[in-house]
Structure 1
C-alpha cells in the first residue's frame, strides 16, 4: 500500500476511503474504494477517487488504473466522470471444489 485517503464525519466515523497500490512498480492502481451505505450519493466516492488519482499524477504517474465489477453502474458513472476509460475487459469465475476439479480431469 502506498497511500490511503478517507473522509470522516464530525464524529470521526469513516464515510469513504480509497487506496493507492502498485501491482506494477510505478503504475498507481486504485483499490478498496468504498463508501458507507448511509453516505452514498453525496460525492464522497468521487472525492476520494479524485484525491488519490490527483496525488499519484502530481507525483509523476502517467496513468492511474483501477478495477471494478462490470455491474457496478454507480461506480462506473463516477469513474467516467473523473475521466477513467475502460481499456481491458476481463471476467472471473468461481473455482470448483478440489474434488470436483479432480473428477473433471479424470473423465
Structure 2
C-alpha cells in the first residue's frame, strides 16, 4: 500500500496538479482498500490502516512542501485542509 501511495505522489509531474486533482486520484484507491478490508476484523485491521492513513497524509504534506516552497504549511493545518477537500480515510478513525 505504501508503494502504491509513493508511486502516485512521487513523480515530479504531479507538482503541476492541484490538490483537488490529487485527492480525486487518491480517493478511488483508498475506497478500494476500504472495501477490501471491510470483511476483516475491524479492530485488527483498523490499527494497520491507521498507519496507512498517516503515511498518505505525510506523503501529501511532502508533495505540498515541494509544490509551495515558500509557504510551508504546518501539518495540522494541512491535515485539516485535506479533510475539508474531501480526502477519504482507509481506517474508521478519520
Give the structure-2-normalised TM-score.
Answer: 0.38
Larger Rg: 1 or 2? 1
Q: Structure with the greater relative contact order (CA < 8 A, sep ≥ 6): 1 or 2?
A: 2
Which structure carries more helix by proportion?
A: 2
Which structure carries more strand by proportion?
A: 1
Give the structure-1-normalised TM-score.
Answer: 0.35
